[in-house]
Chains A and B, each alone.
Chain A
């Protein structure tokens, strides 16, 4: 079946502009995650959605970052007033949940963001 998809695959933007990154999780997966992969910091957790519960935003690095998940499916990560240090690969993952336990997270191919 289809895996996690992300768009765009690459994004180049100018410092100060806003960007939106999209994630389509695997159908039926109730949990959705955003991570960031950068050379200096490795893989960092950003935000986690589980069903209709309030998201866990504890990993967001600043208030310029926000995310929403509409209808329990597609998610958009928005970065406002981008800075050069936001340049990274943004990864989305989804997982099914069974009896309250999370199963394996499946990752998308990522969006490579470059802020000039």
Chain B
């Protein structure tokens, strides 16, 4: 079945460090891929998405590229800030163009000043 695997947390970085959170998926067909973020005390928000192979999603300095050959969608940011501290979820859209999201287990990021 379809599934998402992302790196275990927590991840602790110093401000201005480089961030990578790994995400790989298993899916039939060609799913859309997403990164959602949950800031402390807040709801889930879409961070970025990619709908086909080689697409790059980007937002707020974060980027992720849809790699069909490695079934990956790793999240990167060149210089993290304290305000990036949150839980990050990788997800795929089950069912092609319509359906429910399948989430990874989440990676908690803490950025220290």
From A16-24, A61-69, A72-80, A104-112, give the one contacting chain B. Answer: A104-112
Interfacial residues, chain A to chain B (CB-CB below 8 A): 31, 33, 35, 42-43, 45, 48, 50, 56, 59, 91, 93, 97, 100-102, 104-110
Partner of B103, one of A42, A48, A56: A42
**B99 within 8 Å of A (CB atoms):** yes
* A contacts with B: majority SS: strand
Q: Does B12 contact A (CB under 8 A)?
A: no
Are B43 and A110 in contact, with the CB atoms below 8 A? Answer: yes
**B48-63 vs A, Cβ < 8 Å mask (1 yes, 0 no):** 0100000000000000
In the A-B complex, list the 4 residue pairs whose CB atoms are closest, starting with the nearest: A43-B103, A45-B100, A107-B44, A101-B97
Whether B89 pairs with A33 at a CB distance below 8 angstroms is no
| Cβ 8 A contact of B43, one of A31, A97, A109 | A109
Residue of A nearest to B91 (CB): A43
Within 8 A of A (CB), among B17-51: 36, 42-46, 49
A105/B98 in contact, CB under 8 A: no
CB nearest neighbor in B for A102 = B98
A101 touching B98 in the complex, CB below 8 Å, given contacts A107-B44, A109-B43, A110-B43: yes
Q: Measured between alpha carbons, how far is A104 from B98 in the docked complex, in Å? A: 11
A90 CB to closest chain B CB (Å) equals 12
Contacting residues, chain A, for B7 (C-beta < 8 A) = none
B102 contact set on A, CB distance < 8 A:
45
User: Would B43 and A100 count as touching, CB distance under 8 A?
Assistant: no
Q: Are A102 and B106 neighbours in the complex by a CB distance under 8 Å?
A: no
A89's closest neighbor in chain B, by CB? B43
CB distance from B45 to the nearest CB of A (A): 7
